A and B are shown apart, each in its own frame.
Chain A
Amino acid sequence: MPLIIGLLPFLLLGVIAVVGKNFADKGGKLAIGGLALGVMLSSYQFTLLGEQALIWETSWLEVGEINLTVGWQVDTLTGLMCVLIYGISLLVFVFSLAYMKGDPYLVRYWMYLCLFVGAMLGIVLSNNLLQVFVFWELVGFSSYLLIGFWFEKDAPARASQQAFLVNRVGDIGFLLGIFATWLLFGELNISELGSAKASFDRMSEAWLPACGVLLFLGCIGKSAQFPLQLWLPDAMEGPTPVSSLIHAATMVAAGVYLLARISVIMTTEVLTVVAVVGTLTAFMAAIAATVQWDIKRVLAYSTISQLGYMVMGIGVGAYEMALFHLFTHAFFKCALFLAAGAVIHQLHAAGHEADPQDLRNMGGLRQSMSRTFACYLPPALALAGLPLLSGFLSKDGILLGAVDWAEANGGMLAWLVPMAGFITAGLTAYYVGRHAWLIFGGKLRTPAWAGKISDAPIIMLGPIFILAVFSLWLPWSWNPLDGSSGWFIELIGLSEPAHSDNHWWVGGVSVLLSLGGIAWASLRFRQAAQKFDAPQNGFRQLAFTHFFQKEMYQYAFVKPVLWVKEILAWFDRRIVDGVVNGIAFITVNKHWPYSSLSLVAARFDAVVIDGVVNGIAKSAASMGRRLRHMQSGYLQAYLGIAIFVLLIIMLIFNLFLPNP
């Protein structure tokens, strides 16, 4: 069963590759049908799961002492992830049907999407790190293909390469981490790492943290954490459904999922690093999101920020809550992206007078796209973290975990983590409010579009609506104010949920901060005739460029490489060419008195080298004259000689080699 679930997308990929071009929608309905089957299968599998995880594995290759296995492991978390991946992918596929209509390379699009989904399922189902790594790379590769789907344009091609290269950096860390894990535990099986660590005590001081940090590097790359987060905003160059898939279920979730799975081997120091990196990422990205003008970039930075929350949650030990946030975030972020896609699509249809992705050109769409607005609002408020919505449940849990962690660890520095978390919550509400006001509030700021904008078709709205329902609190927990009593935590939770005394004030503060953020945003962006050419002060620029990250990489890595290139070119031109020219000058210049080198060489050539060459030729000729009699032309004579020589060789071997 897990095998079918894991291989179904690859099967679809093959089918679409072969017969896809014969259909009007290039195999889209085929893919959707396959995914619907996948949803059913994975839900059925989920109902079958009991306390015991389904584990199957077989030997893959044996090299000496090393015995590597392949297999899968399906426990509650994996089962849920399968349902999530299939469910979200299905909705995104349905949305794509309308969004990508008429694209000339639609067959390729469906194929890549299937590959993407299959690779992600592979990561989730694999039971050992090496197999995870294989699918991990496959996810990276298919995201590269999808981000660069419109590769004729310059920006997507560059963005896809950037995503690929930045991910490589993390992947190298991950691979080294796998090596280190093998070295330390002799075990790559995820489910057995915990017991392997328990029985492990030698050289733990130095190597165990290193191993944890290296594995975390893989997560940093894939889940866009500091300092490798710059690829994610640029990945917005891909088609919008792809962005939503990347952000919701198939790519960035991989890092967090893996981190949760391997957090058993992380030591306290590593977890602190994880928490700090997550907090830093969440905070930086939230600031960057407050000043972006691209409708998708705001969401991209918000994804980075929310991923930072999840990583922080794992770092502070609230890893059930982090996974809970992964799930709720998957739904509302996917809905937001699809809503943004619907807006872009409708504005694009309204005319090409202005950039349909620029927030400055929008405004007032709640009248013309009222149904889209209705579907957009719940997920947006969930992202802002208002109560009665799913985002509140999980984000609150993570913040609570951070507060508990800071309390347990003590010290002023530890409190920085929850503090930054709270500030980020306020910032999140602010940029969500800004996003909503700029798109839907006020009046339309592009006169050319007036009256031409129509609401999105039902095939787009349907998926968004379903996702929006899942961003309410009810699908997750009966109690709208406390996520830890929901079914999700009960299913996933290995430990008893801690009933902390901090719960009420943490929830209260985060709600107040969210409301404050939204209020501030509505005060600033309510007016339609807002002037957007605000002075580019230092802070604004810092935030817009995401702390000059790209520039820093440019200076730290790209520029030095170019400098080295310049230096090498200079060295080549001056030194190497100079030496070569100098030698030529010495040897052939007639006017220079010491240029006899070439003359000496010529004499040497004529006498010694020619002599040797001719001598060899002559001796060969005389030998040939003597041996030509052997070439009788009779086959059997040749054979006889061959057998005779063979006998002699055998005799020699018998005589001179010691008998065993």
Chain B
Amino acid sequence: MIPTSFFLMAGAVLMAIGCFLVLSRKNLIMALMGIELMLNASNLNFVAFTRNDQADLDGQMAGLFIMVLAAAEITVALAIVLALYRKYQSVELDDFDQLKH
């Protein structure tokens, strides 16, 4: 059986990649993808921890919920991206600096 720590490592790597994407990409869509990766990283952690608790599948339930949540969240986020595009004619993150000026 694969040790739980492997899954946790994979989750951590996914989380780091997602974080890096969010912080580095200039394109809003790419940042959203990073957010999805981070969500999946946490999901992986939930499922991994459930392995130690076979009787009570709380973690898997949480995983299912997160999937649904992610689907709902991305629809809203894409709608926001569209709205932003209408306003700024761009999806570059650095163009959204209205608060500063």
Interface residues of A (CB under 8 A from B): 631-636, 639-640, 643
B27-59: contact bitstring with A at CB < 8 Å (1 yes, 0 no)?
Answer: 000010000000000000000000000000000
- A533 CA to B52 CA, complexed, in Å: 97
Taking a contact as CB atoms under 8 Å apart, the answer to whether B93 and A636 are in contact is: yes
Residues of A within 8 A of B94 (CB): 634-636
Decide if B93 touches A635 in the complex (CB within 8 Å): yes
Question: Please, which residue of chain A has its CB at the minimum distance from the CB of B25?
Answer: A636
> Which of A633, A636, A643 is B100 in contact with, Cβ under 8 Å?
A633
A639-B22, A640-B23 known; A631 vs B100 contact (CB < 8 Å): yes
- A631-B100, A639-B22 provided; 7 other pairs, C-beta below 8 A? A633-B99, A634-B93, A634-B94, A636-B23, A636-B24, A636-B94, A643-B19
In contact, A635 and B96 (Cβ under 8 angstroms):
yes
Q: Which residues of B contact A634 (CB under 8 A)?
A: 93-94, 97
Most B Cβ at <10 Å: residue of A631, A635, A640, A643: A635
Cα–Cα distance between A321 and B99 once the two chains are bound (Å): 84
Docked-complex contact B97 and A633, CB < 8 angstroms: yes
A149 to chain B, nearest CB (A): 54
Size bin of chain B's contact surface: 10 to 19
Mask for B79-101, Cβ within 8 A of A = 1, else 0? 00000000000000110110111
Q: Residues of A contacting B22 with CB < 8 Å?
A: 636, 639
List chain B residues, Cβ under 8 A from A631: 100
B46 CB to nearest A CB, Å: 19
Question: Measured between alpha carbons, how far is A632 from B99 in the docked complex, in Å?
Answer: 11
Selected A-B contacts with CB under 8 Å, 20 pairs? A632-B100, A633-B97, A633-B99, A633-B100, A633-B101, A634-B93, A634-B94, A634-B97, A635-B93, A635-B94, A635-B97, A636-B23, A636-B24, A636-B31, A636-B93, A639-B22, A639-B23, A640-B23, A643-B19, A643-B23
Residue of A nearest to B26 (CB): A636
CA–CA, A258 and B23, complex, Å: 72
Query: B10: shortest Cβ distance to chain A, in Å?
Result: 20
Across the two chains, which residue of chain B brings its CB closest to A635? Answer: B93
Q: Complex: how many Å from CA A640 to CA B23?
A: 6
B97: chain A residues at CB < 8 Å are: 633-635
Q: Which 8 A-B pairs have the closest CB atoms?
A: A633-B100, A633-B97, A640-B23, A635-B93, A636-B23, A634-B94, A636-B93, A639-B23
CB distance from B15 to the nearest CB of A (A): 11
Residue of B nearest to A644 (CB): B23
Bound-state CA distance A634–B19 (Å) is 16
Nearest B residue (CB) for A640:
B23
With both chains docked as a complex, state the minimum distance between the C-beta of A642 and any C-beta of chain B, in angstroms: 10
Chain A residue with Cβ nearest B97: A633
Number of A-B contacts (CB under 8 A): 24
Give CA–CA (A639, B19) in the complex, Å. 10
Interface residues of B in 62-91 (CB under 8 A from A): none
With the chains together, A639 CA to B18 CA distance in Å? 13
Within 8 Å CB of B101, what residues of A? 633
* A636, B93: Cα distance in complex, Å: 8
Chain A nearest CB from B54 CB (Å) reads 23
CA distance A640 to B94 in the complex (A): 14
Tell me the bound Cα distance from A99 to B94 in angstroms: 80
A85 to B77, CA, bound (A): 62
What chain A residues lie within 8 Å of B99 (beta carbons)? 633
Report the Cα distance A640→B34, complex, angstroms: 14
Within the complex, the shortest CB–CB distance from A651 to chain B, in Å, comes to 15
Bound-state CA distance A612–B94 (Å) is: 41
Chain B residues within 8 Å of A632, by CB: 100
A635–B25 alpha-carbon span in the complex (Å): 11
Q: Which B residue sits closest to A631, measured CB to CB?
A: B100
Closest to A634 in B: B94
Tell me which residues across on chain B come within 8 A of A635, comparing CB atoms.
93-94, 96-97
- B residues near A636, Cβ cutoff 8 Å: 22-24, 31, 93-94
Shortest distance between the CB of A627 and any CB in chain B (Å)? 14
Q: How far is the CB of B5 from chain A (nearest CB, A)?
A: 17
B2 to chain A, nearest CB (A): 25
* CA gap between A633 and B99 in the complex, in Å: 8
Residue of A nearest to B19 (CB): A643
* Nearest-CB residue, chain B, relative to A636: B23
User: Chain B nearest CB: distance from A560 CB in Å?
Assistant: 63
Q: How far is the CB of A299 from chain B (nearest CB, A)?
A: 68
Docked Cα-Cα span, A209 to B6, in Å, equals 72
Q: How far is the CA of A631 from the CA of B99 in the complex (A)?
A: 10
CB distance from A287 to the nearest CB of B (A): 75
Most chain B CB neighbours (cut-off 10 Å) among A631, A636, A643: A636
Q: For residue B31, which residue of chain A has the nearest CB?
A: A636
Give bound CA distance, A631 to B100, whole Å. 8
- By CB atoms of chain B within 10 A, which of A631, A632, A634 has the most? A634
Bound CA–CA A643/B35 (angstroms)? 13
CA distance A635 to B94 in the complex (A): 7
The chain A residue with its CB closest to the CB of B101 is: A633
Q: Chain A residues near B96: list those with CB within 8 A.
A: 635
A49 to B23, CA, bound (A): 76
Alpha-carbon gap, A30 to B73, bound state (A): 52
A494 to B9, CA, bound (A): 77
CB distance from B14 to the nearest CB of A (A): 15
Nearest-CB residue, chain B, relative to A632:
B100
A180, B23: Cα distance in complex, Å = 65
Determine the distance from Cα of A632 to Cα of B96 in the docked complex, in whole angstroms.
12
Chain A min CB distance to B1 (Å):
26
A639 to B97, CA, bound (A): 14
Closest to B93 in A: A635
Q: Which residue of A lies closest to B96 (CB)?
A: A635
Which residues of chain A are near B93, meaning CB under 8 Å?
A: 634-636
* Complex: A573 Cα to B58 Cα, angstroms: 68
Q: How far apart are A517's CB and chain B's nearest CB, in angstroms?
A: 80
For A633, list chain B residues within 8 Å (CB).
97, 99-101
Residue of chain A at shortest CB distance from B94? A634
From residue B43, how far is it (CB to closest CB) to chain A in Å? Answer: 19
A635 to B23, CA, bound (A): 9
Closest Cβ of chain A to B16, distance in Å, is 11
The interface residues of chain B lying within 8 Å CB-to-CB of A639 are 22-23
Residues of A within 8 A of B19 (CB): 643
Give bound CA distance, A635 to B34, whole Å. 15
Bound complex: CA A43 to CA B88 (Å): 76
Instruction: Report A-chain residues with C-beta under 8 Å of the C-beta of B31.
Output: 636
How far is B97's CA from A634's CA once the two chains are assembled, in angstroms?
A: 7
Q: Compute how far the CA of A639 lies from the CA of B94 in the bound complex, rounded to whole angstroms.
A: 13
Hey, which chain A residues are within 8 Å of B23, CB to CB?
636, 639-640, 643
Q: In whole angstroms, what is the CA distance A640 to B25 when docked?
A: 12
- The residue in chain A whose Cβ has the minimal distance to the Cβ of B28 is A635
Residue of A nearest to B99 (CB): A633
| A640 proximity list for chain B (CB < 8 A) | 23
A578 and B61 CA atoms in complex are apart in Å by 70
Query: Whole-angstrom distance from the CB of B90 to the nearest CB of chain A?
Result: 13
Instruction: Tell me the bound Cα distance from A636 to B97 in angstroms.
Output: 11
A631 vs B97: C-alpha distance in the bound complex, in angstroms? 11
